[in-house]
Amino acid sequence: MTIPPDLNFLHPGFVIFAMGIAGILLLYVSLYLYRRRVLKQLNLPTENPRSQHLHRLRVVLLCLAWLFAVIALMGPQGNAYYPEETQIKVGTREVIFLIDVSDSMSVVDTRMGQSRLNHAKEVAQDLAMLLAGRDLSLYTFTSELTPQVPQTMDVLFTRLMIDRLEVNDGGVPGTDFLVTLEQLKETIGDKSLAVILLSDGGDTEWESLSGPQKQKRIDNIAQVFKDTNVKLITVGTGSKEPITISNLKYQGEPVTTELHPQFLEALGPYFEANEKTTTGLSKEIIHLLDREAKEAVTGWGTGIVYKQYFQVPLFLSLLCLLAALYCPETRKKIMDNLEG
């Protein structure tokens, strides 16, 4: 059996139980030292000497049994497909991920203690996994647009490229939403697609304006995709509380940044990443995309189904456990078995 390219885990947080391996090792070391100490104190003859190789082999087998059990508990799944009763029309709408990689995205003020960029990357990766079967593209931006992944159905490659993104990936400082969206509009032409924009909403020029000029800037940006077949969805990352950007100064003064939901709300349907779990947020966005689809479906709500693979690590866990229980501890026991 080959590993599915879209392999993921239903409960990735359960990986913390893998730390139990350290407990197994600690218990066996403690038992080994205890036995040595008792034998030395009692000065007992070792008629049935223990084989250190077999002893260590049992420890390794028990550790592997625990590890495979944890992997099974995490719920491995992959090979996504739509069941026959759910006739969802996929592939009719390409999805573009547009991720802000400006300096402000390096700030650590998200709900899970991540940087804004890492939180955006996590959301985008989760969405890419749920969008298996559709055409995906990846762009980043600061003051201009930077293509990262051309149109593809390769979810694994898209997720890997998302994971590699870094702050100021394009090498151009600042953030310019108007230039970015105009460049994207020119790139995609008259295609019918959805753009998922992940950012803190910090437009450099907009933040320097005030009054009517500030609103005019938002209106100009919001008009870019008006009367087109592009559906723009925005996801805000970060906190609404002002925070200083480390190692960045303007005219000798530190620069502060905060999430601007009112800016992002003006561009399209808005989701705030800090208010939901990554899984919950992704499902809401997918539901919005499916609702926007013009195709009537039967069995609505069934959605993507994954094949479950927990049986494989569970089988390996039981196999290692049986091998550990069968493995003898003393040389005499081996000889007895052979003589019998």
| Shared-domain flag, residues 181 and 225 | yes
| Shared-domain flag, residues 58 and 179 | no
Which residues in 60-163 belong to E strands, given as ranges? 76-81, 94-100, 136-141, 145-152
For residue 267, give its domain range. 83-292
Region label for 80, one of left (φ > 0), alpha (ψ between -120 and 50) or beta (otherwise): beta
Contacts of the segment 60-64: beta carbons below 8 A, 24+ positions apart? 61/320, 61/321, 61/323, 61/324, 61/327, 62/24, 62/320, 62/321, 62/324, 63/21, 63/24, 63/25, 64/316, 64/317, 64/320
Cα-to-chain-centroid distance, residue 266? 27
Report the pLDDT value the prediction gives residue 251, as an integer from 0 to 100.
61
Please list the pLDDT of the chain residue by residue as tens digits (340 residues).
677 877 888 888 899 999 999 998 898 888 878 877 887 787 765 555 556 777 788 889 999 999 999 999 999 988 877 665 544 444 447 899 999 999 899 999 888 889 999 999 999 999 999 998 889 999 999 999 999 999 999 999 999 999 999 998 766 778 999 999 999 999 998 888 999 999 999 998 998 888 899 999 999 999 999 888 899 999 999 998 888 877 766 666 777 888 999 999 999 999 999 988 998 999 999 988 887 664 434 444 445 678 888 899 999 999 999 988 887 665 554 444 444 4
Q: Looking at the domain assignment, is residue 62 inside a domain? A: yes
**Which DSSP state fits 269?**
S
| Shared-domain flag, residues 115 and 241 | yes
Number of domains in the chain: 2
Determine the angle formed by the axes of helices 52-73 and 20-42, rounding to 10 degrees.
160
| Shared-domain flag, residues 152 and 256 | yes
Distance (Å, rounded) from C-alpha 12 to C-alpha 75? 8
Q: Looking at the domain assignment, is residue 138 inside a domain? A: yes
Distance (Å, rounded) from C-alpha 321 to C-alpha 302? 38
| Shared-domain flag, residues 98 and 244 | yes
Q: Looking at the domain assignment, is residue 35 inside a domain? A: yes
pTM of the model: 0.62
| Shared-domain flag, residues 321 and 193 | no
